[in-house]
C-alpha cells in the first residue's frame, strides 16, 4: 500500500493526460478510438448517457476480470486508475482545442499512448479495455500494444454506425498512432548505436583512443586465433567521429554498426566519446 501511494501522483498525471486526450482532442471531433472511453463517447452521442458514467460502469466489470486473472496487486493498482478515469473525464473541460481534425487525432493519440504506457510501466491501468491486453500478455505473451490494438478495434468498428465512415477511418488512424507510440516507448527511449570494431593490427590503439586505459575487449567469432573485437556503445551523433578515429588507425578495420533500443548497466548512460579530451584527439 505504501508503494501504491508513492506511485499515486504519477498515476494521477497519466489519468489527467488521458482525460485531456479524450475530452480535448478526440471526442470533440466525434472519434471513438477504442477503450471504454470510446464506448462512452459512442453511447453519449447515441443515447445521451454521460461518458463518465459509462466508463465507471464498464470499469467495474473489467476490475472483476483483473482480480481473477491478474491478481490482487494489479487489481489494486487498476482499481485506482479505474476510479480516477471517470473522475478525470468528468472534471476535464470538454473543448475542441484543435480545429483541424487530423492534427487533433495525431496529438490526441500520442497523448493517449503516453498515458497508457506510463500506467503499463507501473503494472497499472486506467481499467476498461486496458485490462484484456495485460491478461493476454500474462497468459499468451502478446505485446501490450498489439493486445490493445486488437481489443480496441472492436470498439472502433462501431464508429461506422454512429458517426460514419470518416470517423471510423480517423479512429483506425488513432489506434495505429497509439500502437506505434506505445511500442516505441516500451522498447526503450534511451536509444544508442552499438558498434563492433575488428582490426588485425590496431585493436589496442583504437581501444586506447576510445576508452583510455579502461574498456574491455571480447573474442570474435570466425576470425583467426588472437583477433579481437571492440564493442562500443555511443550516441548517433558520435558515430562519424568514431569512424574517423578508426580510419586513422586502420583503414582496413571492419566496422559493424546497429541500433539498439535501450541500454542498461555500466556505461549504458554515457558515450565513451563524451570525454572532451578524447574528442579533441579525434
Return the C-alpha cell found at 158: 462501431
* 6-47: pLDDT as tens digits: 778 888 999 999 999 999 999 999 999 888 999 999 999 999
Torsion over CA: 109, 110, 113, 114 (sign):
negative
* 77-105: pLDDT as tens digits: 778 888 899 999 999 999 999 999 999 99
pTM: 0.69
CA within 13 Å, CB half, 182: 25
* 186-239: pLDDT as tens digits: 766 666 788 888 888 887 788 777 766 444 444 333 344 445 678 888 877 788
Using H for helix, E for strand and C for coil, what is the string for the chain? CHHHHHHHHHHHHHHHHHHHHHHHHHHHHCCCCCHHHHHHHHHHHHHCCCHHHHHHHHHHHHHHHHHHHCCHHHHHHHHHHHHHHHHHHHHCCCCCCCCCHHHHHHHHHHHHHHHHHHHHHCCCCCCHHHHHHHHHHHHHCCCHHHHHHHHHHHHHHCHHHHCCHHHHHHHHHHHHHHHHHHHHHHCCCCCEEEEEEECCCCHHHHHHHHHCCCCCEEECCCCCCCCEEEEEEECHHHHHHHHHHHHHHCCCCEEEEEEECCCCCCCCCCCHHHCHHHHHHC
* 227-282: pLDDT as tens digits: 567 888 887 778 888 888 888 888 888 888 888 766 665 554 445 555 544 444 43
Cβ contact 82:131 at 8 Å? no
> Per DSSP, what are the bridge partners of residue 192?
260
Place of cell 575487449: 217
Torsion over CA: 35, 87, 162, 24 (sign):
negative
With respect to CATH, is domain 192-281 assigned 1.10.10.10?
A: no
Return the C-alpha cell found at 64: 472483476
pLDDT score at 273: 55
**How far apart, in whole angstroms, are the C-alpha atoms of residue 22 and residue 176?**
16
**How far apart, in whole angstroms, are the C-alpha atoms of residue 257 and residue 91?**
50
Does residue 65 carry a pLDDT above 80?
yes
pLDDT score at 254: 86
The residue ranges of every structural domain in the chain are 2-186, 192-281
Amino acid at each position: 500500500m505504501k508503494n501504491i501511494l508513492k506511485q499515486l501522483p504519477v498515476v494521477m498525471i497519466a489519468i489527467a493526460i488521458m482525460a485531456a486526450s479524450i475530452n480535448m482532442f478526440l471526442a470533440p471531433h466525434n472519434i471513438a478510438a477504442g477503450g471504454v472511453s470510446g464506448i462512452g463517447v459512442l453511447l453519449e452521442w447515441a443515447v445521451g448517457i454521460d461518458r463518465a458514467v459509462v466508463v465507471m460502469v464498464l470499469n467495474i466489470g473489467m476490475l472483476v476480470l483483473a482480480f481473477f486473472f491478474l491478481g490482487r496487486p494489479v487489481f489494486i493498482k487498476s482499481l485506482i486508475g479505474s476510479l480516477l478515469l471517470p473522475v478525470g473525464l468528468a472534471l476535464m473541460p470538454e473543448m475542441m482545442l484543435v480545429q483541424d481534425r487530423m492534427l487533433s487525432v495525431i496529438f490526441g493519440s500520442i497523448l493517449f499512448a503516453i498515458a497508457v504506457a506510463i500506467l503499463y510501466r507501473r503494472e497499472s491501468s486506467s481499467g476498461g479495455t486496458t485490462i484484456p491486453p495485460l491478461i493476454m500478455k500474462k497468459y499468451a505473451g502478446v505485446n501490450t500494444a498489439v493486445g490493445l490494438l486488437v481489443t480496441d478495434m472492436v470498439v472502433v468498428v462501431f464508429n461506422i454506425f454512429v458517426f460514419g465512415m470518416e470517423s471510423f477511418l480517423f479512429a483506425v488512424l488513432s489506434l495505429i498512432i497509439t500502437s506505434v507510440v506505445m511500442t516505441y516507448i516500451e522498447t526503450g527511449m534511451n536509444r544508442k548505436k552499438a558498434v563492433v570494431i575488428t582490426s588485425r593490427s590496431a585493436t589496442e590503439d583504437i581501444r586506447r583512443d576510445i576508452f583510455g586505459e579502461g574498456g574491455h575487449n571480447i573474442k570474435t567469432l570466425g576470425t583467426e586465433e588472437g583477433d579481437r573485437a571492440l564493442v562500443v556503445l555511443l550516441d548517433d551523433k558520435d558515430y562519424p567521429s568514431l569512424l574517423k578515429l578508426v580510419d586513422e588507425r586502420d583503414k582496413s578495420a571492419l566496422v559493424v554498426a546497429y541500433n539498439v533500443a535501450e541500454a542498461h548497466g555500466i556505461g549504458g548512460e554515457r558515450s565513451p566519446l563524451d570525454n572532451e579530451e578524447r574528442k579533441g584527439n579525434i
